[in-house]
Amino acid sequence: MGEAVAKVGIISCSGEEIAEGTIARQAVRRVLEALRPNHTVTLCLPLFLAGEEGERRFAREHPTITVDGCSKLCAKRGTEKYSGEVSASLVVSDILGDRAKHCHRSTRQADKADEEAVWIVAERIAAAVDEFIGTRSAGQEDAAGSSAACCACGSPSSAAVVEINGASVTITGLPLIFQHLQKNGLSPDEESANTLLETAKIYHAIDAEDENAYRHALAAAYREFCRESTS
Amino acid sequence: MQSGNNTKLLVIPCSGVGKVHGLISREAVYRVTDDLLPGQADTVCLALLVAGDAETKDKVQSIPCVTLDGCPKLCAFKNVELSGGKVSNQIRVYDVMKRYRGAHFGTATALSEAGWQVVDELADAVVPNANHSAVKEE
Looking at the structure, do residues A82 and A126 belong to the same domain, yes or no? yes
In a domain, B3, yes or no: no
> Which contacts qualify for A92-97: CB closer than 8 Å, 24 or more apart?
A92/A20, A92/A21, A92/A23, A92/A24, A92/A27, A92/A67, A92/A68, A92/A117, A92/A121, A93/A20, A93/A69, A95/A120, A95/A121, A95/A124, A96/A20, A96/A23, A96/A120, A96/A121
Residue A4: the pLDDT is: 54
Exposure string for A141-174, b = 16+ CB within 10 A, e = fewer? bbbeebebbbbebebebbbbebebeeeebbbbbb
- The verdict on A33 touching B (C-beta cutoff 8 Å) is yes
Confidence of residue A206 (pLDDT cuts 50, 70, 90): confident
Residue A151: the pLDDT is: 41
State yes or no: pLDDT of B58 exceeds 80: yes
Looking at the structure, do residues A136 and A172 belong to the same domain, yes or no? no
Confidence of residue A25 (pLDDT cuts 50, 70, 90): very high
- The verdict on A15 touching B (C-beta cutoff 8 Å) is yes
**Shortest CB distance from B17 goes to which of A17, A44, A105?**
A44
State yes or no: pLDDT of B68 exceeds 70: yes
In a domain, A2, yes or no: no
Residue A158: the pLDDT is: 61
**Residues of chain A with C-beta less than 8 angstroms from the C-beta of B34:** 105-106
**Shortest CB distance from B47 goes to which of A42, A49, A108?**
A49
In a domain, A44, yes or no: yes
In a domain, B35, yes or no: yes
Confidence of residue A140 (pLDDT cuts 50, 70, 90): very low
Of A107, A140, A173, which one is at a domain's C-terminal end? A140
If one counts the domains in chain A, the total is 2
How many inter-chain contacts (A to B, CB under 8 Å) are there? 114
- Average pLDDT score over residue span B57-63: 96
Looking at the structure, do residues A86 and A196 belong to the same domain, yes or no? no
Residue A21: the pLDDT is: 97
Looking at the structure, do residues A135 and A163 belong to the same domain, yes or no? no
Beta bridge partner(s), residue B68: B13, B91
| Range with lowest mean pLDDT among A103-112, A128-137, A190-199 | A128-137
**Model-level pTM?**
0.73
Put simply, the answer to whether A16 touches B43 (Cβ < 8 Å) is yes
Beta bridge partner(s), residue B10: B42, B65
In a domain, B54, yes or no: yes
User: Could you tell me if B45 and A77 are in contact, meaning their C-beta atoms sit under 8 angstroms apart?
Assistant: no
User: Could you tell me if B47 and A15 are in contact, meaning their C-beta atoms sit under 8 angstroms apart?
Assistant: yes
Looking at the structure, do residues A104 and A56 belong to the same domain, yes or no? yes
Residue A1: the pLDDT is: 42
Looking at the structure, do residues A112 and A26 belong to the same domain, yes or no? yes
Q: Residue A155: closest CA among chain B residues belongs to which residue?
A: B107
Q: Residue B83: closest CA among chain A residues belongs to which residue?
A: A50
Which residue did the predictor score with more confidence, A117 or A7?
A: A117
pLDDT, mean over chain B:
90
| Cα separation, B138 vs B125, whole angstroms | 22
In a domain, A175, yes or no: yes
pLDDT, mean over chain A:
82
Give per-residue pLDDT as tens, B10-22: 999 998 888 899 9
Looking at the structure, do residues A105 and A193 belong to the same domain, yes or no? no
Which residue did the predictor score with more confidence, A212 or A53?
A: A212
Percent pLDDT > 70 in chain B is: 91
Beta pairing class for A167-172 and A159-164: antiparallel
Strand order in the sheet with A88-91: A40-42, A8-12, A64-68, A88-91
- The verdict on A220 touching B (C-beta cutoff 8 Å) is no
Residue A150: the pLDDT is: 41
Which residue did the predictor score with more confidence, A181 or B117?
A: B117
**Residues of chain A with C-beta less than 8 angstroms from the C-beta of B108:** 29, 151, 153, 155
- Average pLDDT score over residue span B40-52: 93
Give per-residue pLDDT as tens, A54-102: 778 888 888 999 999 999 999 999 889 888 899 999 999 999 999 999 9
Which residues form the domain of A91? 8-140
Which residue did the predictor score with more confidence, B24 or A188?
A: B24
In a domain, B20, yes or no: yes
- Average pLDDT score over residue span B72-80: 91
Looking at the structure, do residues A133 and A70 belong to the same domain, yes or no? yes
Which residues form the domain of B45? 9-127
In angstroms, the separation between the Cα of residue B65 and the nearest Cα of chain A is 15
If one counts the domains in chain B, the total is 1
Looking at the structure, do residues A18 and A114 belong to the same domain, yes or no? yes
Confidence of residue A157 (pLDDT cuts 50, 70, 90): very low
Put simply, the answer to whether A78 touches B13 (Cβ < 8 Å) is no
Residue B111: the pLDDT is: 94
